[in-house]
Structure 1
Amino acid sequence: MVVSLHLQVTSFAFFVLILCLYCSNIVYNVVAMKSEVVDVSDFGAVGDGTADSSKAFLKAWNFVCSREIENGVRVIFVPENQTFLLHPVTFNGPCKAKEIKFLIMGRIISPVSPKTWEGLDQAKWLTFYKVSGLKIKGSGEINGRGWGWWNQSCRDHPRLEGCTSLAPTAMIFESCKTSSLSQVRLINSSQTHVLIRGTDGFIVDHVKITAPETSPNTDGIHISSASNIFIRNSIIGTGDDCVSIGDYTTNIHISHVKCGPGHGISIGSLGRSGNFVQVQNIRVNTVTFKGTTNGARIKTWQVGKGYVRGVMFENLFFNSVKNPIIIDQNYCNVRGACKELETGVQIRDVVYRNLWGTSSTEVAITLNCSRSVSCTGLLLQSIMLKSSITGKNVRSSCINAHGAAIGVVQPAPCF
């Protein structure tokens, strides 16, 4: 009995010790955070949703960017339960701090009127340029309020005088290194929601990106001239590609993403200006497509040159998708009326493995390759696609596509 009581007392004392150490650690972290946190409100930002807080955000950024502290980390804090209106703004680097945390707990909104961009770059809203060690995260929201631009889009309003194909991207990360975007919600961008360009080492994790299915050119994430990019654990549903992969990209990893509505995950379009394309080592794994126009897509222009190689589409599920698997090597301005050319982007070593689900059209697998520059090294392994319409069958369609099939492949391949 005495031994049992002693053990109980000892266990309780140990628990109290651990609890005290834990609490001390929290207090220490809070104190440390207080010494590092820069609240945008302290620099004049007003969270009423109407006052322009752009200059205040820039002041906070410049304060943080220009100061180097002992542990190299500083925090910019956007407080919760407040809405901050930002006009077009660029957060420039490089910064002295080795790591900057941009903690977004409140809402950041864009001006509605395109007139705000008069005299400015109409392709940009929030831009981060040449910043390394940037970590943007939080439970807040970034709202592009893009309907002002959508209402003057030439795609949707071709007869409108003064219509434009230009519109600002919500967030641009240009020439940034070892940075990340996590947890935040992005909605209703005027055009692309997130652009990652000229960047090496970037992680997008647990983000949610949404815009109406009818909104023009509102890609979720576009990647260009970038390497070592990871997009994972995210939900993306917009009016265009969930993720689009542009030229000069390598080592792109997309996994555990829910895509829809939208145009799927696309490599391309590539080679539009007749340039030499270089895209390789692309991995798309564990993605669900629901009601999208395309699923796993590669699209290149006939006038392009160069290559797309080393692509893996694996563990994909399609729920009523128009084109679950599609390669279009004959992409042009007028769909279905492309003049055949002797040029083309070489597509080779593309693997489709463990893909299943339903197609909303008759052709579930489209491999539309150039007659001059064929697709080679294609592999279909364990594919099971059926029609989403009861009683209908699906089929494959191929032009100059070469490869092999392993295991069950339905519909039957047409190499």
Structure 2
Amino acid sequence: MGAQKLLLLLALVLLLRPGDSQHEQTFSSDPSFRTGLDITDSSAVRKLSPGTPNERRRSTLGSASTVRNVKDFGARGDGSSDDTKAFAAAWKAACSSSAPVTVLVPEGKAYRLKPITFSGPCKSPITVAIKGTILASGRMSDWDGADRRLWMLFDKVDGLRVEGGGTIDGNGQVWWKVSCKVDSAQPCKGAPTALTFQSCRGLTVTDLKFKNSQQMHVTFSKCANVRISQMTISAPGTVPTRTESTSPAAPTLRSATPGSRSITATNIVCGPGHGISIGSLGANGAEHTVSDVLVDTARLEGTTNGVRIKTWQGGKGYARNIIFRNIVMDNVKNPIIIDQNYCDSPKSCGEQKSAVAVSGVTFQNVRGTSATAVAMDFDCSRTVPCRGITLQDVHLVTASGAPAKSFCRNVSLSKFGTVVPSTCSS
């Protein structure tokens, strides 16, 4: 599987309201969405769609007086020198500009960076034109004294545009080999997200390639009015992309994380990897909410899960008004799964009284093959059972063609049309 590629062809637009809160995956106009896209404490993600041809062709460079080229600030771009200070100086000059400005990362060069924060607020809108490659430092000690969850952070920058057709390479191989999931003798520690946007408004991220992140590739936290399109994300299928965890974790397409609502994800191709997940929600007794999610037209190939909702026992909140429709499964281990008893721990989590309520979930026109005998798995809380779960026109068999099974516990189901497997056993 490590030699296989994960193809995710997605073009997405995220419109987020303020105050609400090796694999290849390409975010484009072709079928698409995931591994490493995380939306946290952001809401009103209204539409996912391709960038226009004009957007994809549009030049990012203005006059020489409005361009801050990182090489003019001392960046060498030889792939081994530390260019962090040069990037910080170029950003400082751009952020203080009274006119719109472009920070240029030239083509044909590889710029090695330690952890870095590009802070706002800035005086004028900034475009970061990444034409070349930005490469993460290969020394884990460079994160000593820094936040291990972050490599490149844009914080409180309004009117930001990041684009250019270049590559962001997380140099994740350095982190993967010391993951506790690869070597059980290693301590389980966090690893950086390659690119994080925090508290940014009016943000556009387009025409970028992400490669081999240390953990997640891209995270949007507490952002508003965000547009994302034309992104390709690639990483081997068996890498431990969540090194703070002890469970296997190949790439995942996350449709929604806590605090998200009004999300539409369309035209997705994903696999191998973890599949499409909503959650996890309610960890450590937290109150999390996700609502009004539509996942429409997706193909999953060889994934660990197909379409999944996962919540921890002991949590609070809800996951509701969720639709998965027009989904094709190809040799997927758990094609349809709702797990209210999620437990990412080597020890039993034990039954708890509280749970994130799951309701109003529809699986419509879901077809294909399951790599396991159980194609539909509804493992819900005894005290807060799953309610209003609808199956409509579902046809799932095992990859061998044999009939598949379903498992149901503490769930209220409605069925319409032909549903195969047609019965639940608990």
Same fold (TM over 0.5): yes
Give the deviation of 1:246 after TM superposition. 2.1
State whether residues 60 and 102 of structure 2, in contact with CA within 8 Å, keep that contact through their aligned partners in structure 1. no
SS at match of 2:306: strand
State whether residues 397 and 414 of structure 1, in contact with CA within 8 Å, keep that contact through their aligned partners in structure 2. yes
What is residue 245 of structure 1 aligned with on the other side?
Answer: 256
State whether residues 189 and 218 of structure 1, in contact with CA within 8 Å, keep that contact through their aligned partners in structure 2. no
* More relative contact order, 1 or 2 (CA 8 Å, 6+ apart): 2
What is residue 276 of structure 1 aligned with on the other side?
Answer: 287
Alpha-carbon distance in structure 1 between the residues aligned to 2:260 and 2:171: 30
Instruction: Give unpaired runs (5+ residues) of structure 1.
Output: 1-28, 220-237
380, 384, 395: which one aligns with 2:405:
395
What is residue 68 of structure 2 aligned with on the other side?
Answer: 38
What is residue 57 of structure 1 aligned with on the other side?
Answer: 87
210, 219, 222: which one aligns with 1:186:
210
Quick check: which one's helix share is greater? 1
SS at match of 2:128: strand
State whether residues 131 and 164 of structure 2, in contact with CA within 8 Å, keep that contact through their aligned partners in structure 1. yes
294, 318, 321: which one aligns with 2:329:
318
SS at match of 1:128: strand
The answer to whether the aligner puts 1:159 opposite 2:165 as a matched pair is: no
State whether residues 405 and 413 of structure 1, in contact with CA within 8 Å, keep that contact through their aligned partners in structure 2. no
Instruction: Give unpaired runs (5+ residues) of structure 2.
Output: 1-58, 244-248
Give the deviation of 1:35 after TM superposition. 4.3
SS at match of 2:171: coil
What is residue 230 of structure 2 aligned with on the other side?
Answer: 206
Range moving further from structure 2, 297-306 or 325-334: 325-334
343, 368, 371: which one aligns with 1:332:
343
Distance 1:254 1:336, change over 3 A: farther
Give the deviation of 1:114 after TM superposition. 0.8
Deviations 1:349-398 (A, max 9, x none): 112122222111111111111111011111222222222124x2212111
Alpha-carbon distance in structure 1 between the residues aligned to 2:270 and 2:209: 15
State whether residues 242 and 260 of structure 1, in contact with CA within 8 Å, keep that contact through their aligned partners in structure 2. no
155, 175, 178: which one aligns with 1:129:
155
In structure 1, give the amino acid aligned to 2:410: N
Give the deviation of 1:87 after TM superposition. 0.9
Alignment RMSD: 2.1
In structure 1, give the amino acid aligned to 2:300: F
Alignment of 1:1-400 (within 5 A): 32-69=62-99, 73-97=100-124, 99-160=125-186, 163-217=187-241, 239-243=250-254, 245-334=256-345, 337-390=348-401, 392-400=402-410
State whether residues 39 and 78 of structure 1, in contact with CA within 8 Å, keep that contact through their aligned partners in structure 2. yes
Q: TM-score scaled by structure 2? A: 0.80
Higher radius of gyration, 1 or 2: 1
Alpha-carbon distance in structure 2 between the residues aligned to 1:135 and 1:257: 24
Query: How many correspondences in the alignment?
Result: 362
What is residue 24 of structure 1 aligned with on the other side?
Answer: none
Give the deviation of 1:326 after TM superposition. 0.6
Q: TM-score scaled by structure 1? A: 0.82
SS at match of 1:242: strand
State whether residues 117 and 155 of structure 2, in contact with CA within 8 Å, keep that contact through their aligned partners in structure 1. yes
Give the deviation of 1:190 after TM superposition. 1.1
Alpha-carbon distance in structure 2 between the residues aligned to 1:336 and 1:382: 38
Give the deviation of 1:204 after TM superposition. 2.6
Alpha-carbon distance in structure 2 between the residues aligned to 1:372 and 1:300: 14
Give the deviation of 1:243 after TM superposition. 2.1
In structure 2, give the amino acid aligned to 1:198: K
Alpha-carbon distance in structure 2 between the residues aligned to 1:34 and 1:408: 64
Give the deviation of 1:304 after TM superposition. 0.5
Alpha-carbon distance in structure 2 between the residues aligned to 1:154 and 1:31: 44
SS at match of 1:41: helix
